[in-house]
Structure 1
């Protein structure tokens, strides 16, 4: 699938294979963004990609703009089929890694651990349950989430190693779910040998890379597009796709937006060259508590390419960029201040260059994908 979590898992599998492990990946047939791929009805397909055995199992594939039930079917059918295949493949001396979200993958790791007796590592990339509650999709006090919370509290007692992306996720795992196993910081990362700064002039003002979903604040993006349209000498380049893609395109057409360039989806290898053309990278993180402290993959890629990060996020994310002097992050109620900063971007040329250099240093120090994966790998095999 074309999404940050899938990219993270692919890179992790490749690196663990390079470290010497025999890696087998269970994934679904390509399905996301929804409606962009031809439906596949094969029960499973086995391939070898970059020396890694990949099993793609069937799951329900929703159409464009699917209802909640279709989304749930997509996740639960995959997890069920992944569980059946895992029980056939996994041996007692193996390690099974469940990557969540979706939370249904907890069931896969938990049951395989109980039935086979292997080690279980749970890589927690995001807090979908808490995010769904924050965004108003479901009630945290409702039957479904209450049941899920009780189950996860029980299942998490069987986890041998937890990987967590940020301290917000770690605190939720420990305080809400009683997680007490080995906790390994496993943030998003970047290949610092491929994402490199560019010396010299910049052809673009601001670049934004995003999945147009719900964790990134698309409503704020639309407002910024509207504002940038009237700026003199400032442009915005957008790379990405997602469930709200049609809404973004319709907004541009209806408003007659100028100075905004939609490039759509690009191949991964094309992204670094496009990032290096910009003066700054934009992030817009949903203001709800469950998203605080998030450092999205795109922000890390900006930093690796020597771009300062500007945008809107919660206080935890802002603290990171302020402390490391690698970006200018505004809180959700400071939208007008962000607009003023973007409008006068060229007036901050020296500050932007300094933040860009600091960002590259941060990428090398905190987010080198190889070092991050190696730390997690050592924890799960020892």
Structure 2
């Protein structure tokens, strides 16, 4: 099977796209063409995939990225068995590509949209969307989702996303690959934040917490930052308040979790986060360190079910700092929480246990698309 994977929004080293999904496809002998903003992100493509460089979609004007994606889909889509789209922006490029494939008599591949987030809720968090345009934009997004459901296959990152759609769609959750062997016991001198940084993700609270903990506990921050907090993080790093590593390759970033005192997640109470399980929380559990996090509903489920961390109020850096101090003062508590989180991740949150299911779903859709194209009287490009 040949799979064309496309994103103009996500980092080419995105863990869900590259390390989980593409990794699973390659492990099972399939070939992958990966179209992503390699140049814009300063990333050298992995040799095991055929790479296509696309512009990065960011800010208010995303037309150049969508146009480039449309040209790439025109040219490369018909050669694929599956086209796997990772951004809602790519839905704008798809109708023209479908018309082009039909016009040239090409066989239509199975086209799949991987739904990463509650797109309509996320609009309210985009600073580049004028406030007056957010309500009509949310309505337009919901309409686009209904159209996509009629014409594409959908994968969902969360069970809760099912409520937005009329039909039941397979869920490919954001799990992690739990490292082999026993985890390194939690230490007592540093905590780690891993993931994208923004105001909504608690970057300001993270900096304030670091000021309260210095110099006894070092705060390490790993991830790319939105423009509205980049200067704040750079200043805090320069002043020695915290250590901001910026984006690190997945293996290196996860390696920084080993032996940390705790993993931090200070998401604010935003609609887009209420139905999403913070992947970073699962990653902290997988590496055997306690979690300190705000009461995002799905994070609460994990922490309370497995007693693997401490919950703190939204937008309260003092409470977060106090939780870290408690874990530092109680080595037995942090050791037990880390061990319980690791056991839970290994038994129910381990990506290798679900990887085959993901690949099999794409294989079934590819087979159905091929069969539709060869049925007597079928159009050269099926419309599903």
Q: Distance in 1 between matches of 2:313 and 2:160?
A: 17
CA contact (8 A) 1:79 1:105 kept: yes
- CA-based RMSD of the aligned residues comes to 3.2
- What TM-score, normalized by structure 1, do the two folds share? 0.78
Deviation at 1:304, TM superposition (A): 1.4
CA contact (8 A) 2:11 2:37 kept: no
Identify unmatched segments of 5+ residues in structure 1. Answer: 39-46, 63-67
CA contact (8 A) 2:119 2:141 kept: no
Q: Looking at both structures, which has the greater relative contact order when contacts are Cα pairs under 8 Å and sequence separation is at least 6?
A: 2
Aligned to 2:331: 349
CA contact (8 A) 2:212 2:318 kept: no
Aligned to 2:85: 98
Aligned to 1:210: 195
Residue 379 (structure 1) aligned to one of 334, 355, 361: 361
Q: Distance in 1 between matches of 2:93 and 2:182?
A: 38
Q: Distance in 2 between matches of 1:4 and 1:343?
A: 36
Aligned to 2:16: 8
Q: Distance in 1 between matches of 2:39 and 2:77?
A: 24
Confirm or deny that 1:234 pairs with 2:220: no
Confirm or deny that 1:303 pairs with 2:289: no
Identify unmatched segments of 5+ residues in structure 2. Answer: 1-8, 365-384
* Distance verdict in 2 for CA 1:374–1:170, change over 3 Å: same
* Distance verdict in 2 for CA 1:343–1:190, change over 3 Å: same
Aligned runs of 1:193-208 on 2, under 5 Å?
193=179, 197-199=183-185, 202=187, 204-208=189-193
CA contact (8 A) 2:194 2:223 kept: yes
* Distance verdict in 2 for CA 1:107–1:265, change over 3 Å: closer
* Distance verdict in 2 for CA 1:61–1:272, change over 3 Å: closer
Deviation at 1:144, TM superposition (A): 3.5
Aligned residues: 345
Confirm or deny that 1:273 pairs with 2:273: no
Which deviates more from structure 2 when the two are superposed, residues 142-151 or residues 20-29? 142-151
Aligned to 1:363: 345
Aligned to 2:209: 224
* Distance verdict in 2 for CA 1:263–1:142, change over 3 Å: closer
Confirm or deny that 1:158 pairs with 2:145: no
